Amino acid sequence: MIHGIGIDIIQISRMIKILDRRKRFMEKICQRILRYDEQEIIPNLKNKKEFALWICTKWAAKEAAFKAVNFQQKLKWKDIKICKYKNNQPYIQLWSEGKPTKEMKLSISHDGDYVIAFVAW
- CATH code at 71? 3.90.470.20
User: In angstroms, rounded to a whole number, what is the distance separating the alpha carbons of residues 50 and 44?
Assistant: 10
Identify the top-confidence range among 34-43, 68-77, 84-93.
84-93
**How many Cα atoms occupy the beta-carbon half-sphere of 42 within 13 Å?**
14
- In whole angstroms, give the CA distance from residue 91 to residue 96: 17
pLDDT at residue 91 in the model: 98
Reported as type and span, the H/E element at residue 91 is strand 90-96
> Comparing 74 with 36, which gets the higher pLDDT?
36
Which residue type is seen at 116?
I
Domain span at residue 45? 5-120
Residue 12 has pLDDT above 80, yes or no: yes
Count of alpha carbons within 13 Å of 72, Cβ hemisphere only?
A: 10
12-21 and 48-69 are packed helices; what angle lies between their axes, rounded to 10 degrees? 120
Question: Given pLDDT bands bounded at 50, 70 and 90, which one contains residue 9?
Answer: very high
User: Which range in 34-43, 71-80, 83-92 is most confidently predicted, on average pLDDT?
Assistant: 83-92
Number of domains in the chain: 1
Terminal-to-terminal C-alpha distance of the chain: 8
pLDDT of 72 strictly over 80: no
* pLDDT at position 23: 73
DSSP single-letter state for residue 41 = T
Q: What is the mean pLDDT of the chain?
A: 93
pTM of the model: 0.92
Quote the Cα angle for 51-10-88, to 5°: 60
Helices marked H in the chain: 12-21, 25-33, 36-39, 48-69
pLDDT digits (tens, 9 = 90+) for 16-43: 999 888 878 888 889 999 999 999 988 8
pLDDT at 87 over 80: yes
pLDDT for the residue 24: 82
